């Protein structure tokens, strides 16, 4: 059910998103002012500051927003699909597959587009593998899907360890950055934003059905939801969001797990609020985390995945505590 305070919550999240966007644009090794940002956006300026913004800050900020939004939406879906509050976008092995792809590319000395394609290919392979095995006997149960995903994920983990232990120390460094999630090399394209917004639109279309699915598959079927079709749609939607996110940023942890829960604790239980809320809060969260990742130990950079955990853990615990005491 949508109530007035839900609309207010979305409004506040939109403000937070705009704030985080500017925070991210203004944070970094080069001091920039709001004026520089507007000059760069206006277009006909060619100063050094504008170049920094156009070539580094803006792409990186947008990558943070898109990745955070996709991961948070994927987390919402996985938690409902698997009926498990501990589910996150990576639980079914998608990030593992992507990591094996990416790490192999790094090992071969490939970068940029090659690395992204390898990661995306690894993610797709994992999606198809898990679905194929779980679907094998026609009985597509949530438990089977979860177990298949977890086992495949463990398999990828082993391959990752082999790659890590057999690589030279300087390639291991970039591998670790990829594994922890890092936006410094990120290239976000129009495709990611198309996926983000088209994904959000589709998610909104199915929000009512998800509200019912939360009450259990039997109840949902009894209320007219085509469970079989919905499950497959949810699996592939969440998988595609995750694959796209890890391709941009590596496996940034924590966003997909805690953002959905934070929103639920803040009262956004209806998926019509939860999905747009997840895009805004997930996006803001990652933009802020990345700003900190490149400024707290400057000129050194931290992988953003480390920062998401460092600020995610306490803020989640604070919200959990304040809502339980109510």
Partner 1 sequence: MSEALMTIDSLELQLGSKRLCRNLNLRIDQGQTWGLLGRNGAGKTTLLHSILGLHHPKAGNIAIAGQSLESINRRQLAMQVGMLFQENPDSLPATVLETVMLGRHPHSQSILTDSEQDLGIARKALEAFDLAGLSGRQVQSLSGGERQRLALAMLIAQQPRLYLLDEPSNHLDIAFQTRMLGILRRIAREDSASLFMATHDINLAARFCDHIVLMLPDGEHRSGPAEEILQEEILSAAYDCRIRQLKKDDLALFYPEEAS
Q: Is 54 in the site for partner 1 (CB under 8 A)?
A: no
Q: Is the peptide bond before 122 cis (omega within 30 degrees of 0)?
A: no
| Max CA separation in the chain (angstroms) | 63
- Residues numbered 224 to 243 that lie near partner 1 (CB under 8 A) are 224-226
The H-or-E segment that residue 66 falls in is: helix 58-81
Cα 321 to Cα 242, 261, 315: the distances in Å are: 29, 13, 10
Cα 93 to Cα 2, 127, 217: the distances in Å are: 34, 8, 24
Minimum CB–partner distance for residue 192 and partner 1 (Å): 25
Q: Is 74 in the site for partner 1 (CB under 8 A)?
A: no
Nearer to partner 1, 67 or 79 (CB): 79
Q: Is 80 in the site for partner 1 (CB under 8 A)?
A: yes
Minimum CB–partner distance for residue 47 and partner 1 (Å): 45
Minimum CB–partner distance for residue 1 and partner 1 (Å): 5
What's the chain's length in residues?
326
DSSP string, 283-304: HHHHHHHHHHHTTTTTTS---H
Nearer to partner 1, 63 or 220 (CB): 220
Among 46, 216, 298, 313, which residue sits at the site for partner 1 (rule: CB under 8 A)? 216
Among 11, 111, 191, 222, which residue sits at the site for partner 1 (rule: CB under 8 A)? 222
3-state secondary structure of 325: coil
Q: Is 223 in the site for partner 1 (CB under 8 A)?
A: yes
Nearer to partner 1, 42 or 324 (CB): 324
Q: Is 204 in the site for partner 1 (CB under 8 A)?
A: yes
Distance separating alpha carbons of residues 260 and 309, to the nearest angstrom: 15
| CB atoms inside a 10 Å sphere around CB 113 | 10
Minimum CB–partner distance for residue 127 and partner 1 (Å): 25
Distance separating alpha carbons of residues 184 and 64, to the nearest angstrom: 10
- Residues numbered 245 to 264 that lie near partner 1 (CB under 8 A) are 264
- Which residues are near partner 1 by CB under 8 A? 1-2, 79-80, 83, 85, 204-205, 207-209, 211-212, 214-216, 218-219, 221-226, 264, 269-270, 272
């Amino acid at each position: 059910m949508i109530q007035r305070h839900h609309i207010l919550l979305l409004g506040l999240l939109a403000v937070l998103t705009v704030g985080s966007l500017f925070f991210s644009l203004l944070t970094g090794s080069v001091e920039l002012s709001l004026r520089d940002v507007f000059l760069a956006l206006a277009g006909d300026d060619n100063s050094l500051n504008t170049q920094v913004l156009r070539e580094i800050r803006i792409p990186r900020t947008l990558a943070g927003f898109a990745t955070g939004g996709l991961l948070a939406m994927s987390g919402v879906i996985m938690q409902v699909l698997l009926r498990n509050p501990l589910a996150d976008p990576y639980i079914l092995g998608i990030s593992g597959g992507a990591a094996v792809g990416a790490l192999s590319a790094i090992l071969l000395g490939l970068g940029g587009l090659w690395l992204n394609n390898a990661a995306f290919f690894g993610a797709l392979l994992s999606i198809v593998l898990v679905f194929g095995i779980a679907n094998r006997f026609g009985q597509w149960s949530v438990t089977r899907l979860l177990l298949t995903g977890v086992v495949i994920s463990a398999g990828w983990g082993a391959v990752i360890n082999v790659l890590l232990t057999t690589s030279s120390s300087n390639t291991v460094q970039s591998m670790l950055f990829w594994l922890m999630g890092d936006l410094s090399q990120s290239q976000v394209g129009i495709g990611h934003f198309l996926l983000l917004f088209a994904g959000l639109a589709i998610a909104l279309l199915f929000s009512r059905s998800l509200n019912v699915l939360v009450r259990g598959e039997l109840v949902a079927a009894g209320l007219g939801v085509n469970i079989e079709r919905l499950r497959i749609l949810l699996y592939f939607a969440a998988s595609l969001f995750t694959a796209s996110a890890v391709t941009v940023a590596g496996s940034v942890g924590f966003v997909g797990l805690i953002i959905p829960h934070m929103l639920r604790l803040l009262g956004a239980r209806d998926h019509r609020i939860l999905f747009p809320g997840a895009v805004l809060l997930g996006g803001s969260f990652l933009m802020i985390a990345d700003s900190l990742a490149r400024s707290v130990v400057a000129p050194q950079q931290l992988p953003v995945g480390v920062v998401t955990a460092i600020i995610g853990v306490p803020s989640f615990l604070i919200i959990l505590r304040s809502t339980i005491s109510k």
